[in-house]
Structure formats: structure tokens, C-alpha cells
Amino acid sequence: DQQVKQNSPSLSVQEGRISILNCDYTNSMFDYFLWYKKYPAEGPTFLISISSIKDKNEDGRFTVFLNKSAKHLSLHIVPSQPGDSAVYFCAASPNSGYALNFGKGTSLLVTP
């Protein structure tokens, strides 16, 4: 039933290294993908997005890669910083519309 899957509940990375968060989806109608970051006791905030017409989008230390044939996307954070420690949600929507479907999230811990 879960159309967006984040199979790693948690990830620990050393400061300065690369963090790679993965996301898989099952619905081939999804054509717009987003990553949200969530700190404790706060709502999720938008981080970066990618349309299905692209395979890569970069914003500073954050890069999202999309592999449509594999129905897979990943978020790379380079270099990772302690302030990046948060829960990261992958989200997808069909036809560039709404009704965003979210994964369960991956908790990232960046250690000094």
C-alpha cells in the first residue's frame, strides 16, 4: 500500500562525509519528487525537488538523483554537517499535482 518507500529508518554519518538517503516508489504515474527535512517538534520543511524530466538537481550541498527506470531516487548531502541531523522524508506526486505521498522517513545523525 505504501507507494513511496524509504527502507532505511536510520543512518549515521561522520561530519564531512557524504550522506546518501534512498527512496523507492511504485507508482509510475509519479512525476514530481521532493525531499523534506524535519527537526523534532517542528513540521517538515521543503529541501529540494526534481521533476521526472530531469535526472539530477543540485542546490548547494544537496543533490537529488532520479532513476526513472528503477523508480528510485536518492538525496546526497556533501559534506554532511551536524546541523543536518534530522528526519528526511521523500515525497512524490502524480502529474505534477498534489496529493503528495510521503515515505516513512529516514533519521540521519551526523556525528562530529
Please give the residue ranges that form the binding site for another protein (CB under 8 A): 2, 6, 32, 34, 36, 41-46, 49, 89, 93, 96, 98-105
Q: Are 1 and 98 in contact (CB under 8 A)?
A: no
Our CB check for another protein shows the closer of 1 and 83 to be 1
CA 106, CA 57: separation in Å to the nearest integer?
Answer: 20
Q: Provide the minimum distance between the beta carbon of 34 and another protein in the complex, in angstroms, as a whole number.
A: 7
> Residue type at 58?
E
Q: How many Cβ atoms are within 10 Å of 80's Cβ, its own excluded?
A: 23
Q: Provide the minimum distance between the beta carbon of 16 and another protein in the complex, in angstroms, as a whole number.
A: 29
CA 85, CA 104: separation in Å to the nearest integer?
Answer: 16
Our CB check for another protein shows the closer of 66 and 105 to be 105
Our CB check for another protein shows the closer of 16 and 97 to be 97
CA 63, CA 15: separation in Å to the nearest integer?
Answer: 17
Q: Provide the minimum distance between the beta carbon of 112 and another protein in the complex, in angstroms, as a whole number.
A: 28
C-alpha cell at 87: 528526519
Q: Provide the minimum distance between the beta carbon of 46 and another protein in the complex, in angstroms, as a whole number.
A: 4
Our CB check for another protein shows the closer of 15 and 100 to be 100
